[in-house]
Structure 1
Amino acid sequence: MAAAELRSAVKVSARLDWDLMPLEGVGPLCFGMHVAEVAAVLPGMTELRRFQAEPSFGEALGVEFGMGQAKPAVYAYFVDGRLFCVAADAVHGPQVTLWGRELTACVPADLERFLLHAHWCEVVDVSYGPRGNPGVNELGLVVRVQEVASGVVTRPVMVGRTWADRCTDDWEGAIPECEWVGRSWPRPSGAESWPPPGHKTHWGSWQPPF
């Protein structure tokens, strides 16, 4: 599917527009907020469910907020009761913008070129985690992909200043394990998903929540 068609297929008429304030917050959310504070600044959204975000770190709480009973829009992650990570759903989530560039529901290759252009211009330092996802530690930003009916589009994942160090490292960074599971960043070679078929995980009884 062509890039324009792919973008059009996941457009949501009521999609919110959020600006990313690197390391500080995104839209109405500020890193460090409590769950009740997050819920209070998400008008029109309701809490759909709570889940354990990490297989071996039960203190990492994930809260899914949505526009309706079955339309997840925002995934907020808390540790010690404080917001440290936010991910925007590619289908129903807000359109997150950085420097005027949309980050949600984009064609992966197009957004990667945008980041690499900023890298070549020495604006940011793009790095890749072991599973191939691009991101910028100094912005607290990692770009993941999400599978939709029309193909694969981007899903921005953002963390606050305290958790930004090595955030692009999917083994050692602060972003919860559940955000790395699923479709892998498109590459000419390599597994299409994490974990790849037949891979033995060390999750115990934990199951990815989505």
Structure 2
Amino acid sequence: MSVGPLRFGMSHEQAAVAMEAQGFICTGLQSETRHGALTRRADFRAAAAPRWSTAVTVYYRVPDLLTCVAVDALCGPQVRLDSLGLVGQVPSELTEQVFDYVTERGMSPTLSVEGDAASDELGFMLRAQRAGDVLLSRAFFAKFEGWAYTVHDCVPTTEWRVR
């Protein structure tokens, strides 16, 4: 349903207001032409952060509906699933915790083709992002009913390029 103040289905204007209330500013709204269902992308950074940093990236579908959210492992805010922190964690350790969490609730954990933990029922994937010589978890969330089959199907090309 939501990732922090961002609710799936909200417009870009609503997302910008919600993020600004949390201390994040939009650094750009761009066309997203490399993934058929997604039409636009917006990047947000903390107000005091350098202009080049991106803490949260959101993706929209026609007609301007917030559909996907990616939270940066290095400068993004912490996102929790109950007490489980999903951002900036060691991926191998977090994968085990996510699998336990999902399994305990009668859902099926999955791995992406790149070995990233995911839950289609909960609509998220934990990607690995470089932080110098180590990897940290980058959380990707999607509301994909009616336009994709799995969370993996929702990840746009620009997101796969983040390493």
Give the TM-score of the pair, scaled to structure 1.
0.67
Does the residue aligned with 1:142 lie in a helix, a strand or coil? strand
Structure 2 residue aligned with 1:28: 5
Q: Distance in 2 between matches of 1:154 and 1:180?
A: 14
Q: Distance in 2 between matches of 1:73 and 1:111?
A: 20
Deviations 1:85-109 (A, max 9, x none): 0011111111000021000000001
- Residue 49 (structure 1) aligned with residue 32 (structure 2): no
Structure 1 residue aligned with 2:111: 128
Structure 2 residue aligned with 1:113: 96
Give the TM-score of the pair, scaled to structure 2.
0.85
Equivalences, count: 157
Distance 1:58 1:112, change over 3 A: closer
Distance 1:163 1:130, change over 3 A: farther
1:157 maps to which of 129, 140, 151: 140
**Displacement after TM superposition at 1:31 (Å):** 0.2
Q: Distance in 1 between matches of 2:87 and 2:147?
A: 20
What is the RMSD of the two structures over their aligned residues, measured on CA atoms? 2.2
Deviations 1:136-187 (A, max 9, x none): 0000011111111241100010012626953343xxx12222222344xxxx
Structure 1 residue aligned with 2:45: 66
Say if 1:53 and 1:177, in contact at 8 Å, map to a contact too. no
Does the residue aligned with 1:113 lie in a helix, a strand or coil? helix
Q: Distance in 2 between matches of 1:75 and 1:63?
A: 6
Q: Distance in 2 between matches of 1:55 and 1:164?
A: 15
Q: Which runs of 5+ in 1 are unaligned?
A: 1-23, 184-210
Quick check: 146-155 or 157-166, which moved more? 157-166
- Which residue identity does 1:60 align to in structure 2? T
**Displacement after TM superposition at 1:113 (Å):** 0.7
**Displacement after TM superposition at 1:70 (Å):** 2.3
Alignment of 1:161-180 (within 5 A): 162=145, 166-169=149-152, 173-180=153-160
Q: Distance in 2 between matches of 1:164 and 1:125?
A: 21
Alignment of 1:185-200 (within 5 A): none
Does the residue aligned with 1:62 lie in a helix, a strand or coil? strand
Deviations 1:32-84 (A, max 9, x none): 01000000011222111233434253852110011132221110100110100
Distance 1:79 1:119, change over 3 A: closer
Q: Distance in 1 between matches of 2:37 and 2:107?
A: 33
Distance 1:51 1:148, change over 3 A: farther
- Which residue identity does 2:10 align to in structure 1? M
